[in-house]
């Protein structure tokens, strides 16, 4: 079983114990086009499932990034501000935040890769 899950808002989440790494999917990257800026949150911020916690701006539009889980932001990937190319589905470099989850059942309720791929096919 993969520990990577997906949301209908095109975020991915990698669960590692009680910590969730959160980023945006390849589909979201392609939809946004050329990325020019990311507004990152502060470490220590409490977020609830569904809250927006970052904004990614492209030449086309600005898009909010939503958290699929409730918890505290324990780490922010500051490298993204200088290297927007990292913001791809590569989990090691493309994550935006790490969240210490307060309810890991929220993560288990998300889509797996097959379900997400099927969801995206329905959008095209």
Domain ranges of the chain: 4-123
What would the mean pLDDT of 113-120 be, rounded to a whole number? 95
**pLDDT, tens digit (0-9, with 9 covering 90-100), for 65-112:** 999 999 999 999 999 988 888 887 678 889 999 999 999 899 999 999
- Pick the closest to residue 76 from 51, 52, 39, 43 (CA basis): 43
Contact present, 75 and 103 (Cβ < 8 Å): no
CA distances from 23 to 117, 124 (A): 16, 22
Strand (E) or helix (H) holding 26: helix 26-32
pLDDT, tens only, 42-56: 999 999 999 999 999
Which is it for strands 11-16 and 4-6: parallel, antiparallel or unpaired? antiparallel
The share of the chain scoring above pLDDT 70, in percent, equals 98
The domain made up of 4-123 has a fold known as: OB fold (Dihydrolipoamide Acetyltransferase, E2P) (2.40.50)
Q: How many CA atoms lie within 13 A of 24 on its CB side?
A: 27
Q: pTM, whole model, 2 decimals?
A: 0.93
The secondary structure of residue 109, as a DSSP letter, is T
In which band, very low, low, confident or very high, does the pLDDT at 61 lie, cut at 50, 70 and 90?
confident
């Amino acid at each position: 079983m993969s520990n990577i899950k997906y949301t209908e808002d095109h975020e991915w989440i990698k669960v590692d114990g009680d910590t969730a790494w959160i980023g945006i999917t390849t589909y979201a990257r392609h939809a946004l086009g050329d990325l020019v800026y990311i507004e990152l949150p502060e470490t220590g911020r409490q977020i609830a499932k569904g809250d927006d916690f970052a904004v990614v701006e492209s030449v086309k539009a600005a898009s909010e990034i939503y958290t699929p889980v409730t918890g505290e932001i324990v780490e922010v990937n500051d490298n993204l501000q200088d290297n927007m190319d990292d913001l791809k589905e590569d989990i090691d470099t493309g994550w935006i935040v790490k969240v210490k989850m307060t309810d890991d059942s929220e993560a288990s309720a998300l889509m797996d890769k097959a379900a997400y791929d099927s969801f995206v096919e329905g959008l095209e």
